[in-house]
Amino acid sequence: MSHNNVLERLPHHLRKLIIDQHYENYTWQDHSVWRFVMRQNVAFLKDKAHQSYINGLGKTGISIDQIPDIDTMNRILADIGWAAVTVDGFIPPAAFMEFQAYNVLVIAADIRPIDQLEYTPAPDIIHEAAGHAPIIADPEYAEYLRYFGEVGSKAFSSSADFALYEAIRHLSILKADPNTPVNDISKAEEHLAGLEASLGLPSEMALVRNLHWWTVEYGMIGDLKSPRIYGAGLLSSIGESANAMSDKVLKLPYSIDAVYYNFDITTQQPQLFVTPDFAHLTTVLDEFANSMALRKGGIEGLLKAIESANTATCVYSSGLQVTGTFTDYILHQNQAVYMFTKGPTMLSFANRKLDGHGKDYHSQGFGSPIGRIKNAIKPPRYLDDYDLMQLGVVVGKIVSLEFESGVTIHGKLLSTTRMQGNLLLLSFTDCTVRYQDRLLFDPSWGVFDMAVGESIVSAYGGPADADGFGLEYPVPAEKTHKIHYSVKQLELHQLYGQFRKIREGKSGYDQLPHIWERLKNDYPNDWLLPVEFNELLKSTNIDGLNQKDILQYLNDLKTTRPDFANLIDRGIKV
């Protein structure tokens, strides 16, 4: 991996999802696929994409002629404060968002096969590098992308979300492999449809993914009647970008309502959303973020943490962060007054684990009151040593506390913990904690660490300190399929390579008639290399080859293989 300061900031749990690009594994046909798509895109998009796109190609190290090398990209991206990594297809949505929050583009290392040029059901290097990378050269959009990652990575997911992600990943892998049996694809589609039908109410992550899809992936910008393209899915799809500009696709003004529009990754979209400018994207994202538990906290936040059934963080008003699997809470007068986790739990402040309060120490879970202490004038986080003494709370002494909720604590005060002037914890030995007739903590259980704070001000998915908690994203067990080529197909790829070297070196033209004869005789269904021959002969006279003959060959191929006709026409035109 090339040197880039952005990459050095990546936490351990994200690094595990990174794979090597293995640039040498791309075939000469793969490079021709890249070149064809890029030439088509630039020709079509020069007056249809947002102005930042064409300008950004050079700024981000994207070549028209060959698949980009990730190390070269990183050296160039470093200048604009970004980086890129290669991964294996779809990765978990929370991880994808978190990479964005670190100013890192996630690029699927594979490239679409030649029979999926106009639209691919799986992420590939054309979509990621040619679609996402150029537009981040625009500082305002780049900041939106980073901010989206910051917000999105905190969204709560459900167990159903992860099952859906795995089903989508599985289907995309099957569809991207031209050798997959049709029956296998049908079964995967049925399985995905069944999961989608039983999802119930969407989670925060499901909603935030919708916003991501309709902006970062498939966004349009400008006037509703004549918008331009900025979404990576459109910028990297020669078929769908043309379709998007037509009247076949409904254009809607972008607003928070986009969260309610689901999408199908395996087909073209029936409607798209148009933002007036990049600033409006952040306005809508803020509107959505204000509805999230991340900013609302309270009972709603605790409920979302519990419903996620996964690692989550709840933040007290003191700034104390409790990370674990939340299971329950006690309600008093419509207020959450006590919360519980099970299993390993960590306490943090400012996203750093508190010394001595890692998940090994709180291995059996954690529980603590929420609220104000009875007879205390100040919120508990502001209580100084004098205030505590007035309440009879002195280190080394037996203490009896009662919360306004009725929660009672009786035990010997062992220590207090403060950070940045806020009281975070009171730790007791020989402690009994009760709410009405319910025993919440028994002296035999050890030290009772009482969290301090009158309310839960934030709740979000994942840990406050990922490395401190030992967060691990599951590395996908099912890998993308590597296409296995026959000897004859590999020989065709070599013809692509021989042609490219002659064209780029501008020598060896006498070999081209022989390559052309082999192509016609041995590979009558190949259309892309004949298109490249036609392109070269537009500007170069070569003995033994006639452009009219090659054009006729391509027109005949359009008749015998109508599925190639649109691509051939595009190639001839450009």
Q: Tens digit of pLDDT per residue, the chain (574 long)? A: 457 899 999 999 999 999 999 999 999 999 999 999 989 888 888 889 998 888 888 788 788 999 999 999 999 899 999 999 999 999 988 999 999 999 999 999 999 889 888 777 788 898 888 888 899 989 999 999 999 999 999 999 987 888 888 998 999 999 888 889 999 999 999 999 898 888 778 899 999 999 999 999 999 999 999 999 999 988 888 778 888 898 899 999 999 999 999 887 767 789 999 999 999 999 999 999 999 999 999 999 999 999 999 999 999 999 999 999 999 999 999 999 999 999 999 999 999 999 999 999 999 999 999 999 999 999 999 999 999 999 999 999 999 999 999 999 999 999 999 999 999 999 999 999 999 999 999 999 999 999 999 999 999 999 999 999 999 888 888 999 888 899 999 999 999 999 999 999 999 999 999 999 999 999 999 999 999 999 999 999 999 999 999 999 999 999 999 999 999 999 999 8
Residue 460 token pair: 């979000």
Within 13 Å, how many C-alpha atoms sit on residue 66's CB side? Answer: 14
The confidence score (pLDDT) of residue 241 equals 85
The confidence score (pLDDT) of residue 2 equals 57
The confidence score (pLDDT) of residue 120 equals 74
Cα dist from 175 to 91, 132, 183, 483, whole Å? 17, 22, 11, 12
The confidence score (pLDDT) of residue 117 equals 82
Are 302 and 329 in contact, with CB atoms under 8 Å apart? yes
Residue 1 token pair: 């991996």
The label of the residue with tokens 């459900």 reads: 158
The confidence score (pLDDT) of residue 266 equals 66
Cα dist from 336 to 377, 425, 464, whole Å? 21, 18, 21
Of 193, 208, 314, nearest to 261 by C-alpha is: 208
Give the Cα separation of 380 and 387 in Å (integer).
Answer: 9
Are 324 and 360 in contact, with CB atoms under 8 Å apart? no
87 class by beta-carbon count within 10 Å (0-12 exposed, 13-18 middle, 19+ buried) = buried
Are 309 and 325 in contact, with CB atoms under 8 Å apart? yes
Amino acid at 413: L
The confidence score (pLDDT) of residue 185 equals 94
Q: Is the dihedral of CA 287, 289, 293, 294 positive or negative?
A: negative
The confidence score (pLDDT) of residue 158 equals 85
CA angle (319, 321, 327) in 5-degree steps: 135
**Backbone φ and ψ of 385, nearest 5°:** -60, -35
**Backbone φ and ψ of 338, nearest 5°:** -160, 140
Question: Roughly how many angstroms between the first and final C-alpha of the chain, as a whole number?
Answer: 36
240 class by beta-carbon count within 10 Å (0-12 exposed, 13-18 middle, 19+ buried) = buried
Strand pairing class (250-253; 271-275)? parallel
**Backbone φ and ψ of 87, nearest 5°:** -135, 175
Are 294 and 151 in contact, with CB atoms under 8 Å apart? yes
Give the Cα separation of 173 and 478 in Å (integer).
Answer: 9
Please give, one letter per residue, the 3-state secondary structure of 355-410. CCCCCCCECCCEEEECCCECCCCCCHHHCCHHHHHHCCCCCCCEEEEEECCCEEEE
Give the Cα separation of 86 and 105 in Å (integer).
Answer: 9
Residue 500 bridge partners (DSSP): none
Taking the CB of residue 444, how many other CB atoms lie within 10 A of it?
6
Are 222 and 212 in contact, with CB atoms under 8 Å apart? no
Of 213, 210, 270, 211, nearest to 246 by C-alpha is: 270
Q: SS3 of 428, please? A: strand
